[in-house]
Amino acid sequence: MTYKNSIGFVYNSTLPDAIQLANTLMDSARRYYTCWISPVETLNANSEHIESASIIVTIGGDGTILRVARIASPNNIAILGINMGRIGFMTELSVPEAQDRLLSYLDGSPRIEKRMMLQATFKKQQEAQSTTMHALNDVVINRASTSKLLDINTQINDTHVATYRADGIIISTGTGSTSYALAAGGPVIYPESNTILVQPLAAHISFSKSLIISGSDVINLRVQDKLQSTISVDITSNILDVDSIVYISRSPHSTLFLRHGDNSAFYGNLASKLSGNKSEI
């Protein structure tokens, strides 16, 4: 990977001590690199720092990474996650490890882990134009204000697969399989796999099995019977326009992570992560 000019330190300002840690890490790095700092809540794609950034160090948890990924991924900026949350499936270092090992990740020697993302195109309620968003974890269609179950017509590559009668449906990457999809009873999928998980939410009296499909497949979802529903693309939610079709496919963007060690480390960490507490969002 060819690095650009600067290293960003992006922290979750709602976490105690996050800004202090971010400043401490930045002080150790600025002797060798051009550095900048930002709370994740105000980071945006138009920031003057983004164009020149090669790496963004996140201080928070998986939720902080999801916020950063939507800006970093289109710009091919690698992420190094420091865990100040709980589980931190996507993070790489604990706080003590970061203080000791940060510079070894910034010198260009770590492995670059590439994870696929999803692209979702849909119409928001009462808007004429479609919206396209990208997700590292998942795209979720859920019930809105109605207490009725949703009938979700599901097509893969224009072929009808099922009409899920359910609370909702999760379309997840391998990365997202350890998030909401796991809580819904889905399988754990290796995060660098180029596959997509289709996971219904509490399906009733209908086909209710999870499906693992190719990353090259295209999924069309439509909520029938004119019921109002919401769509969540990672951590951003919107009300869906009634009867609109949601098109989900592999995103042209990928999220890059800095890792030391080989790609089998995921399996070594899996049991200890799952025995922990809830992750920070």
Which residue in 2, 267, 257, 254 sits closest to 105, CA to CA? 257
In whole angstroms, what is the distance from residue 162 CA to residue 231 CA? 19
Q: Counting beta carbons within 10 angstroms of the beta carbon of residue 150, is it exposed (0 to 12), middle (13 to 18) or buried (19 or more)? A: buried
Q: Do the strands 53-60 and 78-83 form a parallel or antiparallel pair, or are they unpaired?
A: parallel
Cβ contact 103:32 at 8 Å: yes
Which residue in 86, 85, 87, 68 sits closest to 77, CA to CA? 68
Phi-psi region of 225 (alpha: psi -120 to 50; beta: other; left: phi over 0): left
Cβ contact 9:59 at 8 Å: yes
Q: Do the strands 229-233 and 138-143 form a parallel or antiparallel pair, or are they unpaired?
A: antiparallel
Q: Which residues are catalytic?
A: 62
